[in-house]
Structure 1
Amino acid sequence: MSRVAKRPLNLPAGVTLELTEQEITVKGPKGTIAMARPDAVEVSVDGNVVSVAAAADAANGALAGTVRSLLGNHVHGVSQGFERGLELVGVGYRAQAQGKVLNLNLGFSHPIAFEVPDGVTIDTPSQTEIVVKGHDCQQVGQVAANIRAFRPPEPYKGKGVKYKGERILRKEAKKK
């Protein structure tokens, strides 16, 4: 059995976990997340403690660990939320959030208007910083990756959209 699945998951105050035959629903102050319930994994709730175990056959230990990690992410998301920071590096690179649209100037001949999906909020503390927030870890990461994909950092000058704290491996320019 997976070592991850053996650890019990404690539910913080204000978070509830509901089990049905087909899905697992986690509700909290920041939102609600539902996931499909695999047949090969047994999930049980005892008060504020959730335990995950593989079904009778030992081949499902990895799946039990995966379900336990996903449930942990869901509980963290609906109670505290997730955020991912992006930085714009380059002369004239700017970002501005206006409601559900993120306007980006990334050195192209035209500005980019990125529609923010539901469940995610985008803040721009400065013109060169973007903060993506939400309750679903996968959705926050995917939105940040989509924004980064407009202009990924290039290896010579480091210009582009990068994650906060990301280290860009720099190349030396061609010599004469």
Structure 2
Amino acid sequence: MSRLGKQPIAIPEGVVIEVTPSNVVSITGPKGNFSHQLSKEVGIEIRLADLSLTKVGNTPSTSAQWGLTRALIRNMVQGVTTGFIKDLEIVGVGYRVLSLGPTKLQFSLGLSHPVIYEAPEGINFEVTDNNKIRVLGISRFKVGLVSAQIRDLKPPEPYKGKGIRYADEKVKRKAGKSGKATAK
């Protein structure tokens, strides 16, 4: 069984981590701040340059919470220091995106109307070449969620590959119809 919870989390320069008596961890860094309610099954110990978690008990659910909590805190630390980025591409004739500000996009996706997407708090967009979108934020969960919601507006179809896809996504293509039968 994996024991990722044992590994300490390095605390970068400029990041402040505080834990309240009610087991709420608050992380503040150059890009923003986060807070998260820790499980009662996990203890936290902050040293000068790193943070480590301990299990309170020895049940399977405690082990699961231990690893999950470590991953969440590591993602929070990375979010407030460097942030998270997800790139999307729009493929198709006439398909494009227009930025209406740092948190609002307008899509032309072959529908009868333009589709407007407004980002939740903490998420920003960058648009280049009218067909590339960069989703930026400090929450890994929100960046992934917003990227998935945008992709769901027009997922890539398997025959020509038209639609919205992740920049690193490989669309599995299908063969089209075979040739017509000759009529006599």
Which runs of 5 or more residues in structure 2 are unaligned? none
3-state SS of paired residue (1:124) = strand
Runs of 4+ in 1 over 3 A off after TM superposition: none
The match for 1:86 is 88
3-state SS of paired residue (2:128) = coil
The match for 1:131 is 134
Structure showing greater Rg:
2
Counterpart residue identity of residue 67, structure 2 = G
The match for 1:47 is 48
Residues 42 and 53, structure 1, Cα contact 8 Å, conserved in 2: yes
User: What's the CA shift for 1:31?
Assistant: 0.7
**Identical counterparts, % of pairs:** 39
Task: Name the stretch that deviates more: 81-90 or 11-20.
Answer: 11-20
TM-score of the superposed pair, with normalisation by structure 1:
0.96
Residues 2 and 64, structure 1, Cα contact 8 Å, conserved in 2: no
TM-score of the superposed pair, with normalisation by structure 2:
0.92
User: What's the CA shift for 1:48?
Assistant: 2.2
Counterpart residue identity of residue 164, structure 1 = A
Which runs of 5 or more residues in structure 1 are unaligned? none
The match for 2:10 is 10
**What per-residue deviation string (whole Å, max 9, x for no partner) do you get for residues 101-128 of structure 1?**
1011111111011112110110002201
Residues 83 and 132, structure 1, Cα contact 8 Å, conserved in 2: yes
Q: How far apart in 2 are the matches of 1:153 and 1:165?
A: 13
The match for 1:156 is 159
**What per-residue deviation string (whole Å, max 9, x for no partner) do you get for residues 138-171 of structure 1?**
0011011111110000111110000011000111
The match for 1:142 is 145
